[in-house]
Amino acid sequence: MPKDLQFKTALIRWLASQSKYKNLREAADGIGIPFNTLRGYFSGKRPSQANLKLLIDATGVQLSLTHQPPKSERTNLKNRIYATRLLDEVQYDLARCLASIPAVQTSLNDGVTGVRLSGSRKGQHIQSLMDALQRNLDAIVSDPDALHLVRKTVSGSDAGYLSGLLGALFDDRRLQTWLQMTTYKYGSK
């Protein structure tokens, strides 16, 4: 639970300015709140409504808690954070699976005639992968920390290789030149 620093500060000021209690233990006894509970409030923990009323009555200070979202909103936020992290893990696992499918298909189809995906279907796969890549990149380009991590993780040589290959796909002469001139092997760096 988040600390309420304004509430904590108000209590500390009250204790320093009053002369009725010599220490926090005496204040706890006088107010009617267990010592450890009161000590927690002095570290910023939030009191229950009943204890807040006791503190206000005993201190004469208008103590108020800074806004805190209702428990249902905090629980919802925790669930959303958990779901986001879980989806991130699923996305990573799915991306790895998708990357391995073409090699498995090639291996299964080796020596078998007539079992191939149509060019149209392969084009749809590539378009779907490019759409997913674009959505991921959109979320990264405006976040300097994420951009730094991507630059540390992704091979610039691999990115250049794929960029050149994708650009060459749309011009037969350029594709032939690219195929003849390229010596780099994807994933080698």
Cα R_g (the chain), whole angstroms? 31
Considering the domain architecture, whether residues 36 and 74 belong to the same structural domain is answered as no
If one compares 8 and 163, the residue with the highest pLDDT of the two is 163
pLDDT digits (tens, 9 = 90+) for 123-132: 888 888 888 8
Q: Is residue 63 within 8 Å of residue 4, measured between CB atoms?
A: no
Tokens of 148: 């730094």
Q: Does 105 reside within a domain?
A: yes
Determine the Cα–Cα distance for residues 169 and 11; give it in Å rounded to an integer: 70
pLDDT at residue 96, as a whole number: 84
Read off the pLDDT of each residue in 136-152 and give the average, rounded to a whole number: 87
Q: Does 172 reside within a domain?
A: no
Determine the Cα–Cα distance for residues 61 and 11; give it in Å rounded to an integer: 9
Considering the domain architecture, whether residues 86 and 54 belong to the same structural domain is answered as no
Q: Does 15 reside within a domain?
A: yes
Determine the Cα–Cα distance for residues 57 and 55; give it in Å rounded to an integer: 5
What's at 116, amino acid-wise?
R
Q: Does 151 reside within a domain?
A: no
- Of the candidates 47, 55, 54, 51, the one whose C-alpha atom is nearest the C-alpha of residue 15 is 55
pLDDT digits (tens, 9 = 90+) for 79-115: 888 888 888 888 888 888 888 888 787 777 777 776 6
Considering the domain architecture, whether residues 49 and 74 belong to the same structural domain is answered as no
Predicted structure pTM score? 0.51
Q: Is residue 33 within 8 Å of residue 50, measured between CB atoms?
A: no
pLDDT digits (tens, 9 = 90+) for 20-44: 888 889 999 999 999 999 988 888 8
Q: Does 134 reside within a domain?
A: no
Read off the pLDDT of each residue in 150-177 and give the average, rounded to a whole number: 92
Considering the domain architecture, whether residues 53 and 80 belong to the same structural domain is answered as no
Considering the domain architecture, whether residues 10 and 48 belong to the same structural domain is answered as yes
Considering the domain architecture, whether residues 81 and 50 belong to the same structural domain is answered as no
Considering the domain architecture, whether residues 75 and 40 belong to the same structural domain is answered as no
Read off the pLDDT of each residue in 166-179 and give the average, rounded to a whole number: 93
Is residue 142 pLDDT above 70, yes or no?
yes
For 99, the domain range is 69-109
The model's confidence at residue 48, banded by pLDDT at 50, 70 and 90, is confident
Q: Does 77 reside within a domain?
A: yes
CB count, 10 Å around CB of 178?
16
Place of tokens 């002095």: 42
The model's confidence at residue 164, banded by pLDDT at 50, 70 and 90, is very high
Is residue 1 pLDDT above 80, yes or no?
no
Determine the Cα–Cα distance for residues 142 and 1; give it in Å rounded to an integer: 31
Is residue 170 pLDDT above 80, yes or no?
yes
Q: Does 161 reside within a domain?
A: no
Q: Does 38 reside within a domain?
A: yes
Considering the domain architecture, whether residues 14 and 54 belong to the same structural domain is answered as yes
Q: Is residue 128 within 8 Å of residue 122, measured between CB atoms?
A: no
Helix residue spans in 1-118 (DSSP H): 5-17, 24-31, 35-42, 49-59, 71-109
pLDDT digits (tens, 9 = 90+) for 7-26: 788 888 888 888 888 888 99
pLDDT at residue 33, as a whole number: 93
What does pLDDT average to over the chain?
83
- Of the candidates 4, 60, 65, the one whose C-alpha atom is nearest the C-alpha of residue 27 is 60
Considering the domain architecture, whether residues 82 and 39 belong to the same structural domain is answered as no
Domain count, the chain: 2
Determine the Cα–Cα distance for residues 74 and 86; give it in Å rounded to an integer: 18
Distances (CA, A) of 154 to 73, 121, 188: 37, 28, 12
Tokens of 137: 């990149």
Considering the domain architecture, whether residues 47 and 14 belong to the same structural domain is answered as yes
pLDDT at residue 80, as a whole number: 82
